[in-house]
Amino acid sequence: MAEVSIEQIKKLREMTGVGMTDAKKALVDADGDFDKALKQMRAKGLAKAEKRTEREARSGLVGTYSHDGRIGVVVEVNCETDFVAKTDEFKELVKNLCLHIAASEPADVTELLDQEFVKKPEQTVGDYLKEHVAKLGENIVVRRFARIALGEI
């Protein structure tokens, strides 16, 4: 059995949103290999996230972003409860989605979900959303967005 530090447990817990016991168990199961434990936790979290996609999401936020007054973005991101919509984690998600839309010019939500996420190119936008579904414990849906660039038709 590998030695697991409390720092590793805390870091894994913060990154995945699981409890301390689950984080420790994942690290022990991975023989102390943090990356392997993280991969396993994400896989489990994403499996749970898939089940949540069936639940209705009617709360949420409308986020906005303006880049130097030349590009503007409005996005509607829904979740299941106002409680989650008011969390800093959800607000940060909406903000990052606005930045992604401004930078990558997706044509529609489906294309947005398949694109590489601008802040983490090794991850798609869809995977970034699923990660937050697992962390926050609710279904999250990008309902719609609009991107306007100065001079474009």
Domains of the chain, by residue range, sit at 6-52, 59-149
How confident is the model at residue 125, as a pLDDT?
A: 94
How confident is the model at residue 71, as a pLDDT?
A: 96
Task: Show the 3-state SS of the chain.
Answer: CCCCCHHHHHHHHHHHCCCHHHHHHHHHHCCCCHHHHHHHHHHHHHHHHHHHCCCCCCEEEEEEEEECCCEEEEEEEEECCHHHHCCHHHHHHHHHHHHHHHHHCCCCHHHHHHCEECCEEEEEHHHHHHHHHHHHCCCCEEEEEEEEECCCC
How confident is the model at residue 62, as a pLDDT?
A: 97
Instruction: Tell me which residues of the chain have a pLDDT lower than 50.
Output: none
How confident is the model at residue 55, as a pLDDT?
A: 61
Model confidence pLDDT, tens digit, residues 64-93? 999 999 999 999 999 999 999 999 999 999
* Domain 59-149: CATH architecture, name and number where available: 2-Layer Sandwich (3.30)
How confident is the model at residue 45, as a pLDDT?
A: 66
How confident is the model at residue 46, as a pLDDT?
A: 55
* Domain 6-52: CATH architecture, name and number where available: Orthogonal Bundle (1.10)
